[in-house]
Amino acid sequence: MTEKYNMPDERGHFGPYGGVFVAETLMPPIKELNAAYQHYLSDPEFIRELDADLKYYVGRPSPLYHAERWSRELGGAQIYLKREDLNHTGSHKINNTVGQALLAKRMGKTRIIAETGAGQHGVATATIAARLGLECVVYMGAVDVARQSLNVYRMKLLGATVVAVESGSKTLKDALNEALRDWVTNVDNTFYIIGTVAGPHPYPAMVRDFQSIIGREAKEQCIEATGRLPDALVACVGGGSNAIGLFYPFIEDKSVKMYGVEAAGDGVSTGRHSAPLCAGRPGVLHGNRTYLMCDDDGEIIETHSISAGLDYPGVGPEHAWLKDTGRANYVNITDTEALEGFYALTRMEGIIPALESSHAMAYTMKLAPTMNKDETIIINLSGRGDKDMQTMAKLEGIEL
Amino acid sequence: MSRLAAKFEALAKTGSKALIPFITAGDPRPDFTVPLMHAMVKAGVDIIELGVPFSDPMADGPVIQRASERALTHKMSLKRTLEIAAEFRKTDQETPLVVMGYLNPIEAMGYEDFANAAQRADIDGVLTVDLPPEEGIECSTLLKARGIDPIFLLAPNSSEERVKKMDAAGSGYIYYVSLKGVTGAGHLNAVDVENKLQQIRANTKLPIAIGFGVKDAASAKTIANIGDGVVIGSALISKIEDNIDNLDQASNEIIELLISIRQAMDN
């Protein structure tokens, strides 16, 4: 059943997607980064240090938790949660920042920049920068600064400078634009830690490789718990780093179905959503070719989602490829449905998920009842909901 | 010979350098652009770079970002930029015209449709900021087949190998980005530019236009002594922003600045 999967090609292409689409000034640092990454990927000392950080600093392996009560309630497949919410800093984002920061250090870079949407990647970057004593600047859309103020405060506590980006739609895509502008200006001493599987090559492959620890552990843990591979994987998709982290080690296991859950916002038919794979078209943004939300003129459309971390008009190029080849299924969940997922996990299992991860919970509520009791679903619980308390309280009309 | 090649050849004969203004099509509104283009030609510019407004101009500083935003409020697009170019061509068949922008609007139109539309609009060159030659072969082949020059960028950190690559892939001219940064940044260093130009010229015979960081007659004169052409963008567009309620004044100030630059470059 297995078929060799070896994407991307050496210039970063996943079929027609991916690649390197950047202004000339960024070509040399990207080449430098790619060379360093290829080198350290097989350097035993680098791998040893990374593994030690993941174990003692991040707290890996994260548990694979059998949500028995919730599984019973839904009356179908057995649901297992990959507990990335239990990582240091509260989400899967730290897996990648630990890896890229080690790379930055070895490359002699003294300054770290990052973009962030919900603030989870910003916090994970500020955290590792603090630990390594590196200067850190985080770009965040002004809209996101307002709705994720708790994370802004955390980043500042950690010593990072948070720049509120006022251009364009003032959300994640604009933060990425501004980080790219910073990089082009400070290219000599600066390492750009991209938080998702997008951007120019090698970022999509590199971030995937750092995040695929999620899927490698989950596979082993699932076999240990159930004696076999899972039947389905479910993960939310904004840029797609937590989803690819879970999916990648299973790509060659054809019996395992994969579901990437995009944010439908007010509903895909309303146009107010963040679901480029479900309702977008191929194009080029932020250094790679992928599915985008853009109009007929190629201008990027403003996105909408209740979760800042999914509020992005593009998606990692590998997801575009997995969609076109049919290896993964991409579905969508509205804001309202995501909230149902949020409450369900909170009250059934005593685990408060991030609003991003709540999209995966909500899709599982549709999927699990259609499956047999002896089948298994693994959901990537990519982050915890602490950062969303203000948003939730506001929705419920409660003043904290 | 393309209009661009002919222009640089003619300038070289007289020992003169190309003055190349960059403006964003449709900024601050669509009917402002064509009259401004004609007025700039009268003021002595040699080539016009016409920017295609884009929602996410990653290589541009705040001045050109805002120009894009203003133009987009009037639903400007790649298609309408080419219409503006065609309109200009009706009464000016001499001045070379370069369309400069980002890839996604071209992706949305389709490479072949774009190349055909650019040919119909009688465009002379296309510069796509986020399309390096590695990814750009398909598009530049279509353009070249229609007599349109694909123009590529070089930067202060470009290696000799990159220069050779641009020499092979590009035509018309090479756009040298004079500093590490975005458009409109203010830290141009003439000595650095001069040193780098020597390395570039050792590997290409293409004319070299220098942009990013040119803001007035003095900096233009310095750059003109080094390169074959001087690109000025943000400083012109600032005049629009400063006089947004009086566009005649904006136009006058742009022309005054260009005339002063022309004089400085020619003396």
Q: Is the pLDDT of residue B186 over 80?
A: no
Active-site entry in A84, A115, A262, A318: A115
Interface of A with B in 168-187 (CB under 8 A): 168, 173-174, 177, 180-181, 184-187
What does the pLDDT look like over A49-98, one tens digit per residue? Answer: 999 999 999 999 999 999 999 999 999 999 999 999 999 999 999 999 99
* Rounded alpha-carbon distances, angstroms, from residue A35 to A67, A123, B237: 43, 27, 40
For residue A3, what pLDDT is reported?
A: 65
Query: Do residues A81 and A153 share a domain?
Result: no
- Integer Cα distance of A327 and B160 in angstroms: 42
Q: Looking at the structure, tell me whether residues A73 and A216 fall in a common domain.
A: yes
Q: Which tokens in the block code for residue A135?
A: 């200067």
Q: Do both A306 and A347 map to the same domain?
A: yes
The residue among A191, A207, A223 that closes a domain is A207
Q: Which residues in chain A are closer than 8 Å to B177, comparing Cβ atoms?
A: 23-25
Provide the percentage of residues in chain A whose pLDDT is more than 70: 99
pLDDT band, very low/low/confident/very high, at A392 (cuts 50, 70, 90): very high
CB contact under 8 A, A185 and B159: no
Cβ neighbours of A185 in B, within 8 Å: 180-182, 185
Q: Which of A14, A17, A27, A186 to mutate to test the interface with B (most CBs of B within 10 A)?
A: A27
- DSSP string computed for A47-95: HHHHHHIIIIII-PSPPEEE-HHHHHHHTSSEEEEEEGGGSGGGBTHHH
**pLDDT value of position A280:** 97
Say if A4 falls within a structural domain. Answer: no
pLDDT digits (tens, 9 = 90+) for A199-213: 999 999 999 999 999
Residues A179, A231 share a domain: no
Tokens of A301: 């459309």
Spatial separation of the C-alpha atoms in residues A92 and A31, rounded to whole Å: 27
Q: What range does the domain containing A83 cover?
A: 61-90+212-395
One DSSP character per residue, B5-44 reads HHHHHHHHHHT--EEEEEEETTSS-GGGHHHHHHHHHHTT
- At residue A400 the predicted structure's pLDDT band, cuts being 50, 70 and 90, is confident
Residue A3 located in a structural domain: no
pLDDT band at B49 (very low <50, low <70, confident <90, very high): very high
pLDDT of residue A1: 40
| The pLDDT value given to residue A351 | 98
Instruction: Give the CATH number of the domain where residue A322 resides.
Output: 3.40.50.1100
Say if A30 is an interface residue toward chain B (CB within 8 Å). Answer: no
Nearest to A19 among B135, B158, B181 (CB): B135
- Residue A66 corresponds to which tokens in the numbers above? 């059998």
The residue annotated as part of the active site, out of B27, B46, B49, B149, is: B49
The single residue of A71, A212, A307, A382 carrying the catalytic annotation is A382
Question: To which residue do tokens 């730290």 refer?
Answer: A94
Q: Does B58 touch chain A (CB under 8 A)?
A: yes
| Residues A328 and A242 grouped into a single domain | yes
Q: Which of A348, A325, A256 is nearest to A7 (CA)?
A: A325
A140 and A116 in one domain?
A: yes
Q: Are B158 and B178 in contact (CB under 8 A)?
A: no
| A7 within domain boundaries | no
**pLDDT (0 to 100) of residue A98:** 98
Structurally, chain A folds into a number of domains equal to: 2
pLDDT digits (tens, 9 = 90+) for A317-347: 999 999 999 999 999 999 999 999 999 999 9
pLDDT surpasses 70 at B72:
yes
Chain B hits for A188, Cβ within 8 Å:
180
SS3 of B58-83: CCCCHHHHHHHHHHHCCCCCHHHHHH
Q: Is residue A346 part of a domain?
A: yes
Q: Count CB-CB contacts under 10 A for residue A212.
A: 18
Residue A378 has pLDDT above 60, yes or no: yes
CB contacts, 8 Å: B65 with chain A = 167
**Catalytic residue status for A115:** yes
**Of A22, A185, A284, which has the smallest distance from its Cβ to B181's Cβ?**
A185
Residue A164 lies in a domain: yes
pLDDT at A190: 97
B197-249: pLDDT as tens digits: 999 999 999 999 999 889 999 999 999 999 999 999 999 999 999 999 999 99
Both A117 and A254 in one domain: the answer is: no
Is A314 in the same domain as A200? no
Q: Enter the ipTM.
A: 0.96
CA distance A216 to A373: 24
pLDDT in tens, A5-52: 999 999 999 999 999 999 999 999 999 999 999 999 999 999 999 999
How far does B218 lie from chain A, in Å, by closest CA?
23
pLDDT at position B213: 85
What is the structure's pLDDT at B267? Answer: 85
Residue A1 placed within a domain: no
What's the whole-number average pLDDT of chain A? 96
A202 and A111 share one domain:
yes
A286 has a pLDDT exceeding 60 = yes
Q: Which two tokens stand for residue B108?
A: 């949305």
Establish whether B49 is a catalytic residue: yes
Within a 13 Å sphere around the CA of A222, how many CA atoms are in the beta-carbon half?
Answer: 28
SS3 content of chain A, % helix, strand, coil (to 5): 50, 20, 30
Question: Given a cut of 60, is residue A173 above it in pLDDT?
Answer: yes
Residues A361 and A236 in one domain: yes
Rounded Cα gap, residues A339 and B190, in angstroms:
58
pLDDT-derived band of residue A355, with 50, 70 and 90 as boundaries?
very high
Residue of A24, A168, A289 with shortest CB distance to B56: A168
* A96-134 confidence digits (pLDDT tens): 999 999 999 999 999 999 999 889 999 999 999 999 999
Name the closest residue on chain B to residue A290, using Cα atoms: B104
CATH of B3-266, one of 1.10.8.60, 3.20.20.70, 3.40.50.300, 3.40.1350.10: 3.20.20.70
CB contact under 8 A, A285 and B56: yes
Q: How many CB pairs under 8 A join A and B?
A: 120
Taking the Cβ of residue A32 and every Cβ of chain B, the question of whether any pair is shorter than 8 Å is answered with: no
Beta bridge partners of A285: A288
Q: Which of A207, A224, A251 is the last residue of a domain?
A: A207
Check residue A2 and give its pLDDT. Answer: 47
Contact yes or no for B180 and A27 at CB 8 A: no
Contacts of A332 (CB under 8 A, 6+ apart): A261, A262, A263, A264, A268, A273, A275, A278, A279
B107·A184 Cβ contact <8 A = no
